[in-house]
Amino acid sequence: MEYPRRSYWHDSAEGIKKAFGDSIEVKDKKFDILLIGGGITGLTTAYLLKDCGFNIGIIEATNAGYGVTGYTTAKITIQHDLFYDNLINNFSLAEAKQYLKANEEGIQLIRNIIKENKIQCDYKEQTAYVYAASMDEVDDLQKELKAYEKLGIDGFYTETVPLPNKVYGAIGVRNQGQFNPLKYLYSLYNILINSNVKIYENVRALDINPHDDHVDVETEKGTIHAHKVIVASHYPFDNSFGLYFLRLYQEKAYVIAARTKEEPFEGMYINVKDPIHSMRYQFSDKESLLILAGGNHRSGEKDDENESYEELERFLFSSFKNPEIVSKWSTQDCMTYDKIPYIGRYTDSIDNLYLATGFKKWGMSHSAAAALILKNKILNIEDDYSGIFNPSRFTPFQSSKEFASSVKSIAMGFLNRLAEDLEEFSDVNPGEGKIIDYYGKKVGVYKNEAGEYYCINPVCSHLKCALSFNEAEKTWDCPCHGSRFDIKGNILEGPAVRPIDKIKI
Ligand SMILES: Cc1cc2nc3c(=O)[nH]c(=O)nc-3n(C[C@H](O)[C@H](O)[C@H](O)COP(=O)(O)OP(=O)(O)OC[C@H]3O[C@@H](n4cnc5c(N)ncnc54)[C@H](O)[C@@H]3O)c2cc1C
């Protein structure tokens, strides 16, 4: 399958992954453990379970590496923006220590996997920094540093960082890391195939049906049976249990890979407040590229996504001398309202179903932490760091502010269907997508440069929110839960598991 959305990582990791057929029969296959999703979470968890005597299968809706992991910025760090001061205040010191320990263990796991398997993924130890781009943010850095002390994080304050833009202060954490995420992921993929883990690509799970002693997973190509199922599909797509569609939203960001004239700097950087700019160089034996990310917003909420790319480019061109853009892309990650991922049993009432999601743009360390936690859960091993990630927790106090804004977005997603000013066919210019009134029926119309029309029913197949057209990427996007579809209605990103209806005009 040819993907329109490619990142620099896809180009630079080409050829590493062994070719694997997608027409292999899955109907009525039986596994001890089935993982749904071939991103970093699914493959790392399978890696940890592969030597535990289980018969393991993985199904992937598209191809491994074409989920968020193929579009990330791949900083491997426990420094998750400014976070630990709030974490201690909103939870407890003991719970904050669990969060930290899980992520530290996760980072150590990634290092061990790379070392033991001699994986060539341009891994490099780096210092991670969060910096103040204005004077009023410096106080927040000081508070965070105090939280570091309470938690035993070896952090430090500095006013000198090698960035081209103005910085008022920064806190650093040494011995963090970065890598090429797809060189790493594809190497894991090869290891798993050689270890007899069965990976089936282009097999999308549609429904999950748990029973007392096993789980049936309905896919596009038949039912698969497994004793235990781990949902590592990024957004948990099944709405029957756990109510995750009410407990998660997606946040989008934009990335540019660029050649710069300046000497590449060491370290990985992110600032405190909007507009967010995350920067690091990717060093490989071929070249060093700046990886710049930013433009964060809730998925589906931006009227014109081109503005996000433009803002990022303005920052790039004002901070660096004549940079050359090599590649740019966007992606989105799942956010929980209390800012703690969900890792563990899908719901308390089902024994043999697990998930890991809500990594809030810090999924490198969290995916490895999830793999460790899920392995322990499957093997019934107690640990001292998974409690805070319990998916069945109830945290109304920590979640209320974000939740209120989410309810507003979801309500708008439904109301848009009622109260939109509709255009007519003749209003759609080449390269545009619009919702038009066609004999009293709402139709989503895209017109390409050759003047051909593509018409769809502009209602998300997930939970029926109204879709809006994303001009920058020529996609139909859902503001409620972040599903995305191409101009023909095919799924680009979940949680939707079914395409949207094409309309013949
Ligand atoms: C702009 C941006 C920058 C980021 N930068 C960083 C960073 O620097 N450091 C960091 O730690 N984190 C970062 N993250 C977060 C990190 O990239 C993600 O949290 C992580 O990659 C998620 O991995 P995953 O395996 O859970 O999901 P994915 O990589 O999305 O994998 C899930 C897989 O499941 C498949 N799937 C979905 N639905 C189904 C289905 N129904 N049936 C079968 N398969 C299905 C998908 O096709 C996909 O391949 C960033 C995120 C964003 C948005």
Other Cβ atoms less than 10 A from the Cβ of 289: the count is 23
pLDDT band at 300 (very low <50, low <70, confident <90, very high): confident
Tokens of 432: 């545009």
Position 20 pLDDT exceeds 50:
yes
What are the pLDDT digits (tens) for 404-445?
666 666 666 556 555 566 677 888 999 999 999 888 889 999
Distance (angstroms) between ligand 1 centre and the Cα of 234 equals 6
Q: Which atom of ligand 1 is nearest to the CA of 278?
A: 8
- Of 158-162, 237-241, 275-279, the one with minimum mean pLDDT is 237-241
Position 231 pLDDT exceeds 80:
yes
Spell out the domain ranges in the chain: 8-71+182-242+339-395, 79-88+122-178+248-336, 417-493
Distance (angstroms) between ligand 1 centre and the Cα of 237 equals 14
CATH of 417-493 given 2.102.10.10, 3.40.50.300, 3.40.1280.10, 1.10.1740.10:
2.102.10.10
d(CA 218, CA 297): 33
| For residues 203-209, average pLDDT | 97
Do 8-71+182-242+339-395 and 79-88+122-178+248-336 have matching folds?
A: no
User: What percent of the chain has a predicted confidence (pLDDT) above 90?
Assistant: 84
Print burial letters for 357-378: b (CB count within 10 Å at least 16), e (below 16).
bbbbbbbbbbbbbbbbbbbbbb
Position 42 pLDDT exceeds 50:
yes
Ligand 1, CB within 6 Å, residue ranges = 36-42, 59-62, 66-69, 72-75, 204-205, 232-234, 237, 253, 255, 293, 331-333, 359, 361-365, 367, 494, 497
pLDDT at 1: 46
pLDDT at 421: 66
Tokens of 290: 């700046």
Is the domain spanning 79-88+122-178+248-336 CATH 1.20.1560.10? The answer is no
Distance (angstroms) between ligand 1 centre and the Cα of 371 equals 14
CATH superfamily of the domain spanning 8-71+182-242+339-395: FAD/NAD(P)-binding domain (3.50.50.60)
Q: Which atom of ligand 1 is nearest to the CA of 268?
A: 8
d(CA 137, CA 42): 37
d(CA 260, CA 70): 23
Average of per-residue pLDDT values in the chain: 93
| For residues 263-269, average pLDDT | 97
Distance (angstroms) between ligand 1 centre and the Cα of 361 equals 9
Alpha-carbon distance values, 58 to 104, 240, 429 (Å): 26, 22, 43
Position 170 pLDDT exceeds 90:
yes
What are the pLDDT digits (tens) for 359-399?
999 999 999 999 999 999 999 999 999 999 999 998 876 77
Largest Cα–Cα separation, the chain: 66
| For residues 150-154, average pLDDT | 97
Q: Which atom of ligand 1 is nearest to the CA of 364?
A: 11
Q: Which atom of ligand 1 is nearest to the CA of 251?
A: 53
pLDDT at 406: 67
Distance (angstroms) between ligand 1 centre and the Cα of 504 equals 34
pLDDT band at 40 (very low <50, low <70, confident <90, very high): very high
Distance (angstroms) between ligand 1 centre and the Cα of 106 equals 16
Position 267 pLDDT exceeds 50:
yes
What are the pLDDT digits (tens) for 326-338?
999 999 999 999 9
pLDDT band at 18 (very low <50, low <70, confident <90, very high): confident
pLDDT at 19: 72
